[in-house]
Amino acid sequence: MQGWRACNLIFDIYQTMGSKMPDSFNTHPENGSGITNMNKLSFIILAIVLLCCSGCSTMRLSYNHADWYLRYKINDYTSFNAQQRDEIHSEVDNYMRWHRKNALPEYIAYLQDINAAIQRNGQLTTEEVARLSGEYNKLYKKTVAPTIRPAAHLLSALNSRQIEELGKSFTRKNQKQKDETLYGSEQKNLVMRAERNIDFVERLVGRLSGDQKDKIREISLRTPFVVKYYIEHREHNQAGLIALLNSKAGEDKIAEFLWTWVNTPEATRTPQQQQAVQSYEHAMDEMTARIYDLLTDRQKIHLRKEILTYTEDFQHLNAEK
């Protein structure tokens, strides 16, 4: 599952943006719950909480220190002056307060929805997975929405040197992802993704049998590998953002651009990219349903316990001041 943040969130969103990142169930933070294809990088904090942490105490510690992490990460994009750093500090604080009060209850309700879905008749249909994916997309957009205007305000004030640094950061990070995910033939990438999917499912449901691994591997290998289309689309939008900043377009136009990027990514995709994304998302919905059907009763119980643990932890976090 993947996560949230104020001004820094925006920079990472536009670094790894692209609806669902397709490398595997938990590729980036654009990015996976074992039940829904949560491959949205933009839930950075959620990614940290659900994928990188083990144990409720670690999860709460990570969430409660997310503001520090966000301020640290933003410095990797460009050099901000003292006034801008103060603004970032304030906006991150504001966003985290909003997030704890408004977003966490939405996450709790969503996890409860997932838990109910997987207990319904003991089955999970492709249609139900597609519904949950749609709800996740809505939740993602709600989470990101409060960051758009503060980010546009900050971006509109960048000088030429800072804009140049930002563009170089985008290029560097894009290349890093290419090196990590497009490192060989398409067949090799498919094989590596299949192994990551198997590892991810095991972390959620416990040990898989050899037969289960073989079947998951087979299903995964037939799922389209479309990382390059997401990267191409992101690079196109990043170039558009840099052009806007260099033209001194102003806060309103930058905010409009970011809103479109977050809410209607299909508007700036090529027909080939859009077709690839739609095929991938449908295949992932089918894959998720088929993998769930492979699970034993014991593994399904293990999964429900995991979801319940995360739900309770979010409830505790929401109750904290």
In this predicted model, what pLDDT tens digit does every residue of 108-132 receive, in sequence order? 999 899 889 888 877 889 999 999 8
CB 20 within 8 A of CB 30: yes
Per-residue model confidence (pLDDT) at position 72:
74
As a whole number, the mean pLDDT across the chain is 80
Three-class SS state of 159 = coil
Instruction: With respect to residue 229, please indicate whether it lies within any of the assigned structural domains.
Output: yes
- How far apart CA 168 and CA 71 sit, in angstroms, is 19
Place of tokens 């997309």: 137
Per-residue model confidence (pLDDT) at position 122:
73
Per-residue model confidence (pLDDT) at position 58:
61
- How far apart CA 303 and CA 107 sit, in angstroms, is 17
Q: What is the pLDDT of residues 148-187, one digit of tens each?
A: 998 899 999 999 999 999 999 999 989 988 888 887 788 8
Q: Residue range 219-246: average pLDDT? A: 93
Q: Which of 54-68, 81-95, 208-222, 248-262 has the lowest mean pLDDT?
A: 54-68
SS3 per residue for 263-309: HCHHHHCCHHHHHHHHHHHHHHHHHHHHHHHHCCHHHHHHHHHHHHH
Three-class SS state of 184 = coil
Instruction: With respect to residue 1, please indicate whether it lies within any of the assigned structural domains.
Output: no
Per-residue model confidence (pLDDT) at position 165:
94
pLDDT band at 59 (very low <50, low <70, confident <90, very high): low
Instruction: With respect to residue 41, please indicate whether it lies within any of the assigned structural domains.
Output: yes
Pairing of strands 40-40, 30-31: antiparallel
Enumerate the β-bridge partners of residue 4: 44
- Identify the sign of the CA torsion 208, 211, 214, 218: negative
Per-residue model confidence (pLDDT) at position 33:
31
Domain range enclosing 21: 7-319
Instruction: With respect to residue 91, please indicate whether it lies within any of the assigned structural domains.
Output: yes
Per-residue model confidence (pLDDT) at position 160:
96
Instruction: With respect to residue 2, please indicate whether it lies within any of the assigned structural domains.
Output: no
Per-residue model confidence (pLDDT) at position 18:
34
Number of domains the chain contains: 1
CB atoms within 10 A of CB 223: 20
pTM of the predicted protein model:
0.81
Per-residue model confidence (pLDDT) at position 123:
81
